Amino acid sequence: MIILFDHGLRKQKQKPLQNRVQRTRDDFKELSGKLNRYKLKSQEQIDAACAAILRKNKTESFFTYTVINNPVATYKNSKRGRPAANAEKIANRDRGLDGFMPNRKDVRNPRSEFMLKVFEDIVQGVIQLPDGKNDGFVSDLNDHQKDILSILNVPLYYYDYQHLTDSS
């Protein structure tokens, strides 16, 4: 068996194939700029447009494609005008201590009713032992309560059973 290879014939067949592949790439690039417009919003419409490009250029066997939805989150400034250069720092500052004590200019001190309401679930229990002595407990402080006590410069051992029952 004799196999003949003609370089001229190969070049003659290769050039149109490369042109079709390049046109397909160009059409896909053009299509990417048109996504999320009038006729290319749903996945089915985009899929149909991609299949049409491959049929038009006769390159279905050379390309595979997948349509992936990656939504981009955009944020709008809630206030008028230019956003502040340090908007994130201002938002953290204004948030304050879990919404309890905001650090805004118009709120300088928390109201005592709100502070007392946070501490209303603290329980002190006393148990009378058979020998006549008392033993007890104080419920544990949560992180929010500990933060408030640290802001008020109150030591945490003040909420210990031995400290509360010490009469001296």
Q: State pTM to two decimals.
A: 0.40
Give the pLDDT confidence score for residue 41 in this predicted structure.
80
**Full 3-state SS string of the chain:** CCCCCCHHHHHHHHHHHHHHHHHHHHHHHHHHHHCCCCCCCCHHHHHHHHHHHHHHHCCCCCCCCCCCCCCCCCCCCCCCCCCCCCHHHHHHHHHCECCCECCCCCCCCCCHHHHHHHCCCCCEEEEECCCCCEEEEECCCCHHHHHHHHHCCCCHHHHCHHHHHCCC
pLDDT per position in the chain (168 positions), as tens? Answer: 677 667 777 777 788 888 898 999 999 888 888 887 778 888 888 889 999 999 999 888 888 888 877 766 666 667 777 766 776 776 666 666 555 555 555 555 666 777 778 877 777 777 777 887 777 777 788 888 888 888 788 888 887 777 777 765
Give the pLDDT confidence score for residue 56 in this predicted structure.
92
Distances (CA, A) of 127 to 132, 138, 167: 10, 12, 17
User: Is the separation of the CB atoms in 153 and 160 below 8 Å?
Assistant: no
